[in-house]
Structure 1
Amino acid sequence: MRVLVVAVSAPTQMTGVHRHAINLAKCLLMRHDDVDLVVAPWQLKSIEGSGISTFPRLSLYVAEMTPGRTARNLWHCTALPRLVRESGADIVHLTCPVPFFKSLICRPVVVTLHDLYPMEIRENFGRFKSVFNRAILRIYLQGADAITTVSDRTLALLQTYIPKASDKAIRIYNCLEAFPPATGRSPLPEWRGYPFLLCVAQHRRNKNVTLLLRAFHQLVQRGSLAEGTRLVVIGVPGPETEAIERTVRDLELAARVVFLSGVSDAELHWCYRNAKMLVAPSQTEGFGFPVAEALQAGCRFVCSDIPAFREIDARSGHYFSLDGDAGSNLVDAILEAASSPAPPPTPLDRFSLERIGQQYSGLYSTLHLQHFTVPRASAQEKPYENKL
């Protein structure tokens, strides 16, 4: 089967959505499907660093467009249908919310739903962008033949906010591949062996980076951390960057906080293996790659007590409540984790490329068969349900 995986998005560096698209393509290639992976010109560098180009059954398409939301949306509405026809794809899989005209695409369309942020936490985008993103999300879901949510939590939110769309939704987790060997060189500038806490998060409101900064400041002021301990934040700048930088200035933490972005998988693995702990204080998440990656790497982790994190692992982490005094709760959880032994690396078979690839192949095969044998399935029918 030939699957057209469309991964065009705005960031130039690796994000959770980008990682999903690459891992999706890898798990299909491992099952000997043919994959056409579509990316924007500014995504080529991160693609080259992912190792996916070594697969012989992969065809890489670079969508010709200029940066910017308007150009990306126009490409999906006009150029994508032509590419579907020319590629001979059996299935089209869109990996992030974009507008498209289903009537112009002559093949089944599967879309990935990572989260319901436009509905759930509108502060992530700002007032105008939030309205626009909600409209795009509805178009994206309405045109799909099937929706795959990356967690049960995301599926539950879909049932709450857009119940009609949930009739054609099924949960298929994000897949995780084993980390490459950790690089021997630190990605941290001028690192001389100082201990550090790690946070892997885009600069968005739901990630709660400012809460972590305030908690870290309390720990520094109280002398509760080892001398010279730093906080390392790895993530793409975004709408919350200004507030994060202002908090660092106000708390006079510039010498203790390191911001990085665009690190390789090997460098990220080095950070997990050498950090005292991962801290993930999010208000809400669709999946939570950092928590899963910390488990894989054998890294202690402290995280907010939210459903998406509990779904990944309900026992190994040090959870703190966002209710009441969230900052004090976070400080207590960090101190508790610091005094506990590091866990061994934990394999996560239910997120493996092999298992997730099998589930996607089952979904694609059923949709493909339905497309060519049934004129139009009832909106109430979910013919692929319980077959994965």
Structure 2
Amino acid sequence: MSSRRVLVDLLGFTGARGGTETYVREILPRLAERLPDVRFAALTGRAGTDRVSAFFPGSVRTLPWVGADPATWALGAVAGTELAGRRARADLIWAPANFGPVLRGLPRVVTVHDAIYDEVRGSLAQRAQRAVTSTLMRRSARSADRVITVSHAAAASIGRHLGVDAHRISVVHNGSSAPRPVDDPRAELASFAFPAGRPIVMSVGNRMPHKNFRGLLEAVATLPAENRPVTVVAGSSLPDPLEDDVVRLGLQQDVVLPGWVSDAQLEALFQVADLYVCPSLVEGFGLPVVDALRRSVPVLANDVPVLREVGGDAARYADATDAATFGAAISAALSAPTDAARRAAAKDWAARFTWDDAADGTARVLDAVLAGSRR
């Protein structure tokens, strides 16, 4: 049998988009092992060429007019991906970062990580900024042969908001990476200038509305000043948009906003943290929750279905939309350290989510669509 060809739409890859980029970095090399007769080619923009070339198991083509901004990425997906697929004689296009072409053409699989734009609408200005992306996601998902998503909660949301039939959606959970502890975590974090002798609460994520970091800060502000932990919220470019909330709530001595952190700094944070907190209103998967549990860090999460799906009985839950309730839950979690048996059970739970399994599930979907396209 001749080689099958898959074009992977990585036009939005910049190295700074968090979870969706972790997803493709982890899965693509494993896919090449599971589909040895498939020739993979990547289509990327000028901001992603070097980064994609570092891990991609095949040739990389660049559209030089696609930059790091979402506007040219969207235009490239609409106007460039299908044409590039035909020129590459692709049997299939896989768009792993929420959207790709919006019209039916070559067989296509799209990974839609969530329908957050529809779940958490945000302000009028935010809705206006996200309107184009939301429309492209909807049309791309509806016109795809199959949709992959990363949780059962996300699948239900995609069906409800994007109008995709359940039989065309395949749930393939994300994986989690093994811990890579650093030798001296305090030294790795020296630039953060933590106040000494206080418990450390950590959280990680971009500053989109659904992350609910303002709700986290408001919860911390309900605690008596003498009992507040040091709360580290990593992610975001600097200056951090949360800085105004820190000042408004009088938390300048209680909150550290380090911006984007390196992989080593992230591992060091997990090593020193007494509690990981996920206040998100909704997620596609909630990978940091699994990462924290796998590193024996106790987790407190907002009580929503997707976080219960990935955290199971290993995490604690409380209503993050109520500042007093969530603040009390943070205090209670810090006051009741997790025993060794619970930590071991949490690690076992988190270890169920592997990138090998994620690659297996993704390969099965791609293989099925490829087989159908050949017929």
* Corresponding residue SS for 1:336: helix
For the structure 1 residues 76 and 281, does the alpha-carbon distance in structure 2 shift closer, same or farther, using more than 3 Å as the test?
same
Work out whether residues 318 and 329 of structure 2, in 8 Å CA contact, stay in contact via their aligned partners in 1.
yes
Deviations 1:342-384 (A, max 9, x none): 62461534421222222122111111111121xxxxxxxxxxx
Give the letter aligned to residue 334 of structure 1.
I
Give the letter aligned to residue 245 of structure 2.
T
2:347 paired with 1:346? yes
Report the CA distance between 1:159 and its aligned residue. 2.5
Work out whether residues 198 and 278 of structure 1, in 8 Å CA contact, stay in contact via their aligned partners in 2.
yes
Report the CA distance between 1:101 and its aligned residue. 4.7
Match of 1:291 in 2: 289
2:235 paired with 1:251? no
Higher alpha-carbon deviation: 314-323 or 25-34: 25-34
Work out whether residues 208 and 281 of structure 1, in 8 Å CA contact, stay in contact via their aligned partners in 2.
yes
For the structure 1 residues 321 and 20, does the alpha-carbon distance in structure 2 shift closer, same or farther, using more than 3 Å as the test?
same
* Corresponding residue SS for 1:202: coil
Equivalent runs, 1:18-33 vs 2, <5 Å: 18-31=21-34, 33=36
Q: Distance in 1 between matches of 2:157 and 2:362?
A: 22
Gaps of 5+ in 1: 374-388
Report the CA distance between 1:62 and its aligned residue. 3.8
Deviations 1:80-101 (A, max 9, x none): 2343234454432112234525
Give the letter aligned to residue 41 of structure 1.
R
* Corresponding residue SS for 1:249: helix
Equivalent runs, 1:33-182 vs 2, <5 Å: 33=36, 34-43=39-48, 47=51, 53=54, 57-64=57-64, 65-98=66-99, 100-103=101-104, 105-106=105-106, 108-123=107-122, 126-182=126-182
2:20 paired with 1:17? yes
For the structure 1 residues 170 and 289, does the alpha-carbon distance in structure 2 shift closer, same or farther, using more than 3 Å as the test?
same
Q: Distance in 2 between matches of 1:188 and 1:82?
A: 50
Work out whether residues 216 and 320 of structure 2, in 8 Å CA contact, stay in contact via their aligned partners in 1.
no
Match of 2:333 in 1: 337
Work out whether residues 234 and 257 of structure 2, in 8 Å CA contact, stay in contact via their aligned partners in 1.
yes
Match of 1:368 in 2: 370
Q: Distance in 2 between matches of 1:250 and 1:202?
A: 20
Gaps of 5+ in 2: none
Report the CA distance between 1:126 and its aligned residue. 1.6
Report the CA distance between 1:12 and its aligned residue. 4.9
2:208 paired with 1:204? yes
Deviations 1:139-196 (A, max 9, x none): 1112211001110001111222234443411111122232434364424525468342
For the structure 1 residues 204 and 90, does the alpha-carbon distance in structure 2 shift closer, same or farther, using more than 3 Å as the test?
same
- Measured on the aligned residues, the alpha-carbon RMSD in Å equals 2.9
Q: Distance in 1 between matches of 2:95 and 2:234?
A: 26
Q: Please report the TM-score for the alignment, with normalisation by the length of structure 1.
A: 0.82
Deviations 1:255-289 (A, max 9, x none): 33222333233321221121111111111111101
Work out whether residues 13 and 261 of structure 1, in 8 Å CA contact, stay in contact via their aligned partners in 2.
no
Q: Distance in 2 between matches of 1:165 and 1:330?
A: 36
Match of 1:376 in 2: none
Match of 1:383 in 2: none
Work out whether residues 181 and 271 of structure 2, in 8 Å CA contact, stay in contact via their aligned partners in 1.
no
Report the CA distance between 1:237 and its aligned residue. 4.7
Give the letter aligned to residue 263 of structure 2.
D
* Corresponding residue SS for 1:114: coil
Q: Distance in 2 between matches of 1:54 and 1:170?
A: 25
**Aligned residues, how many?**
358
For the structure 1 residues 101 and 153, does the alpha-carbon distance in structure 2 shift closer, same or farther, using more than 3 Å as the test?
closer
Equivalent runs, 1:269-348 vs 2, <5 Å: 269-322=267-320, 326-338=322-334, 339-341=336-338, 343-344=343-344, 346-347=347-348, 348=350
Report the CA distance between 1:248 and its aligned residue. 0.8
* Corresponding residue SS for 1:358: helix
For the structure 1 residues 193 and 291, does the alpha-carbon distance in structure 2 shift closer, same or farther, using more than 3 Å as the test?
same
For the structure 1 residues 36 and 351, does the alpha-carbon distance in structure 2 shift closer, same or farther, using more than 3 Å as the test?
farther
Q: Distance in 2 between matches of 1:266 and 1:60?
A: 28
Deviations 1:297-342 (A, max 9, x none): 111111111111110122121211246xx11221222122212226
* Corresponding residue SS for 1:314: helix
For the structure 1 residues 7 and 255, does the alpha-carbon distance in structure 2 shift closer, same or farther, using more than 3 Å as the test?
farther
Give the letter aligned to residue 120 of structure 2.
I
Report the CA distance between 1:199 and its aligned residue. 0.8
Work out whether residues 4 and 37 of structure 1, in 8 Å CA contact, stay in contact via their aligned partners in 2.
yes
